[in-house]
Chains A and B, each alone.
Chain A
Amino acid sequence: MDGRRAIPHIAADSCKGCGLCLSVCPENVLAIEAAQVNLKGYFPVSVKAEENCIGCLSCALICPDVVFTIERIDDHLEGRDE
């Protein structure tokens, strides 16, 4: 069993690559890759370690461009609670 509790989805073309989400993520789930450019010409954030996401929403709360949608893995959470 890995520690994954949630899955972040990113609307990459809305991202301006500001990096605020990276600065607040406690589990180093996110990364900005210089090789990737979005439609606006920014380097968008991407998920590099999905298995580490704990679903704390810090990235979504601080994102000025509302690029995140976060899904919680319910079964896994219920399993942990037991």
Chain B
Amino acid sequence: MKLFRWKYVVPRLILLLAVAAALRFGLDPTIRWAIVASGESAIGAKVELAEVKTSLRNGEVVFSNLAIANPSSPLRNLLQTEEAKLQIDINALLHKRFVVNDGTVKGIEFDTDRTTSGKLAETPDDANEGPSVFDPWLNSAGQFGEQWLDQLNGRLGQGLVDQLESPKVAKELEQRWPQQYKEIRAQIDSLREQSKSLEKQFREVRKNPLRNLQGLGQLQQQLATADAQLRSLQQQLTALPQQIEADRQAVLLARQRDEAFIRSQLQFTKIDGDSITQMLLGDATSQGLTAALDWIGWARRQIPSKRNTLPASRGRGTTVIFGQAKPQFWIKRLQLEGQAQTGGQPIHLVGSLTNATSAPQLVAEPTKLSLRSDEGRMLAIDLTLDRRGETAIDHLQIACPQITLPGRTIGNAEKLAIQIAPSSATFHLDLTVTGNQLAGQIVFKQTEAQLSATSDSQKNKRLIATLGQALDQIKQVEANVTLAGTLQKPGISLQSDLGNQLAAGINNSVKQLLEKQSQALLASTRKKVDAQLERLAQARQQAQQELLAKLGKHQELLGQLAALGQGGSPISIPQLGKTFRFGTQRK
């Protein structure tokens, strides 16, 4: 036993044992601290881990109650698990590689409540916040819909009646006639006064004809003037029927202009099917698609597509790798079990994650994530991330039997809007990302669609009923969304006959309603104007008869007075007296 220096060996052995004991008892807290610290640094929110148990002999690590807070919503968890049991390859760990041969993660839940805030003292700015790439596409459709509804509302408003010309013309005529009547009557009254004055003067002349002979000439002139006025009034009264006809023609012209105006108002911008499709389905499809693209983007960041090169040797010589090169990080198989929310209902999911690795080109199979619901509603998610070749190929398939679509209102509810009731839909996504190029399709089916028109204004009641009929016909909505473009600038094309059918229905209904309302408006206006014209004509006829009768008396009197001056001889007193007597008796 003199071979060894025990004074050297024994203390070292004791030190080695102490290190081993520290490793045994300090490993679990150290791993827990490392996971929490690195997780919080990567996510920017609190990461809580209740317990870590390791068994190096069996290569088993158990994480209990892991909760990762949502950085954008501190009182909610992004993810939480009850237990994660990992079977780690210790041999690989000694080769500086982290390989999980098998494992189970139980009780996975997303978006759960927290009792305490998950915000860190210093939260880095969230670079992901911002508008979705699909927002301009959705906004344009929404704005078009709102503008169309506003336009329709405007066409059907009270302003249309106010803009018609024929009622205005009829009203103007009706207001003008009493004034005209008043003026004619005043003239007739004036003529009567004048006639009376003439009669009086003639009586004076008759009393002393010789002395007032000079005044007789003046009387003749006044008589001629009165006669001229009489004729003028006669002409005016005779022209009254012609004026009635002229007014009727003016009203007819105004009516023609009204009809042309109404026709021009019927030429409204038709809502197109694509806009309706975008309005109805844009949100639902873009939500799913944005989430899918976000996940793929995240996966792209986590799993590099470039081939990993061996780290440069820092020591002397060249390090040779024997056997097949293996990735530094490799989850060979992980069984997953948890809950997710779909259609507002919790759904139990089971699945697996295989070949998740930091060096996909060193693994025979691509990374695959598969999740299935074990209940009647078959939710299925299959994600394949193939980075084995030069070009990264990612393939995502989601079959979701029930996604919840929240209710929403398009347009201004005070004027006119379309309400979409909360409903559910099936959603199938098949998306392939080759390199940076997107290609895929979304099939969207909404089986219990409920659309209705609404307005706070009572005057739109009829329009609401018409639109309601068109919207009631929609019970099922189907759409195909074709995806193209790149991850940064995705292009989306929505194909659905829903929009066209609905647009045709709405356009026809609205056109019929507009025509009906226009016809009714024109008919009521015509009736009103006709009644006004009739009243006017009757009033004129009555006035004509009345005024003509009055004028007839003066005409006769003036005729007799005028006859006195015929033949150029002076008026004889008896004749005048006779004439006046006659006139007086008549009066």
* Same complex: no
Which residues of B pack against A, CB within 8 Å? none
Which residues of A pack against B, CB within 8 Å? none
